[in-house]
């Protein structure tokens, strides 16, 4: 996978993209990235990328000319047609399902906004507008880093154990089950006996039950989207949580 990032602050990406899983994935050749500063595409001597909004109002708005020119340059260099993502609090919410979808793309192009917002015409460049939450950041750089991390770790070979990604929270629509490691007892807190039993079928059933319970406690909205079995619905009711029906 090739990832292009269009940003006014390329230096922000050096740390996150050159450590941990992302670093190893790049070293394995699983993905590569290129940071492009669209200020380099401004035509005036001051390298201006923003201006006051028509109609008045506070803040500065990103101009279309440098962004369009930068995207044109990237499209000319790309091996394929990059899937173009505009980071904006007005976009659709980013989630694990969307991360999986984007991880299957050959090339991605993230356009990071800044200042008060984009000239509306810049939106025509995007295949998709995405938000990482209902809040406003100074720019789209942090949102892009979050999405790149979530996407790259889903590329086959990026993780040491491929099952890790399958067991992550949200991968199956549920929050992850509790995890433990050695020692078996720490400061009086013991690992559940079932995990020490070596009985894989019972452990799997326990983990499923724990994931259902944790999701019901913390994110009951997720349960409404799942195709639960009759046994799982009964299990939730026994634990005191209402199992959602299709009508809900």
For the CA atoms of 132, 138, 141, 147, what is the dihedral angle to 10 degrees?
Answer: -10
**Residue 189 is assigned to a structural domain of this protein:** yes
CA angle 48, 91, 51 (to 5 degrees): 15
The active-site residue out of 50, 66, 141, 153 is 153
The model's confidence at residue 65, banded by pLDDT at 50, 70 and 90, is very high
Give yes or no: residues 123 and 44 share one domain: yes
**Residue 158 is assigned to a structural domain of this protein:** no
- Helix, strand, or coil (residue 180): coil
The active-site residue out of 10, 89, 176, 209 is 89
Give yes or no: residues 213 and 140 share one domain: no
Active site residue 89: yes
Average pLDDT over residues 134-146: 94
Q: Which domain holds residue 185?
A: 170-248
* Residue 248 confidence (pLDDT) above 60: no
The active-site residue out of 168, 172, 176, 232 is 168
The active-site residue out of 101, 116, 172, 176 is 116
Give yes or no: residues 112 and 23 share one domain: yes
Q: Considering the chain, what percentage of its residues have pLDDT values greater than 90?
A: 72
Instruction: Choose the final residue of a domain: 83, 117, 152.
Output: 152
Active site residue 209: no
Rounded-to-integer distance, Cα 97 and Cα 103, Å: 10
CATH number at residue 197: 1.10.1270.20
**Residue 146 is assigned to a structural domain of this protein:** yes
**Residue 161 is assigned to a structural domain of this protein:** no
| Spatial contact of 216 and 235, defined as CB atoms under 8 Å apart | no
**Residue 86 is assigned to a structural domain of this protein:** yes
pLDDT tens for each residue of 75-95: 999 999 999 999 999 999 999
Instruction: Choose the final residue of a domain: 107, 123, 152.
Output: 152
The model's confidence at residue 212, banded by pLDDT at 50, 70 and 90, is very high
Q: What is the pLDDT of residue 116?
A: 73
Please give the C-alpha separations between residue 217 and each of 172, 175, 220, in angstroms, as whole numbers: 17, 10, 6
* Residue 150 confidence (pLDDT) above 70: yes
Give yes or no: residues 141 and 194 share one domain: no
Active site residue 220: no
Give yes or no: residues 115 and 8 share one domain: yes
Active site residue 16: no
Give yes or no: residues 182 and 110 share one domain: no
Q: How many domains does the chain have?
A: 2
* Residue 165 confidence (pLDDT) above 80: no
Give yes or no: residues 141 and 28 share one domain: yes
Report which secondary-structure segment, H or E, holds 177.
none
Beta bridge partners of 93: 131
**Residue 100 is assigned to a structural domain of this protein:** yes
The model's confidence at residue 169, banded by pLDDT at 50, 70 and 90, is low
């Amino acid at each position: 996978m090739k990832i292009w990032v269009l940003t006014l602050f390329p230096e922000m990406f050096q740390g996150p993209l050159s450590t941990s899983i992302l670093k190893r994935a790049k070293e394995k050749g699983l993905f590569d990235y290129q940071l492009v500063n669209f200020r380099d595409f401004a035509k005036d001597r001051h390298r201006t990328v923003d201006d006051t909004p028509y109609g008045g109002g506070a803040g500065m708005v990103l101009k279309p000319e440098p962004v369009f020119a930068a995207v044109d340059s990237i499209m000319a260099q790309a091996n394929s047609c990059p899937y173009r993502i505009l980071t904006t609090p007005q976009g659709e919410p980013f989630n694990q399902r969307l991360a999986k979808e984007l991880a299957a793309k050959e090339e991605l192009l993230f356009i990071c906004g800044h200042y008060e917002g984009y000239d509306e015409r810049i939106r025509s460049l995007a295949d998709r507008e995405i938000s990482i939450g209902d809040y406003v950041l100074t720019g789209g750089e942090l949102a892009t880093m979050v999405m790149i991390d979530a996407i790259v770790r889903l590329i086959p070979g990026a993780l040491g154990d491929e099952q890790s990604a399958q067991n992550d929270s949200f991968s199956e629509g549920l929050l992850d089950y509790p995890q433990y490691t050695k020692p078996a007892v720490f400061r009086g807190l013991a690992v559940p006996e079932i995990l020490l039993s070596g009985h894989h079928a019972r452990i799997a059933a326990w983990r499923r039950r724990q994931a259902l319970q944790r999701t019901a406690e913390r994110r009951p909205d997720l349960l409404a989207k799942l195709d639960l079995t009759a046994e799982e619905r009964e299990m939730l009711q026994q634990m005191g949580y209402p199992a959602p029906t299709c009508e809900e």
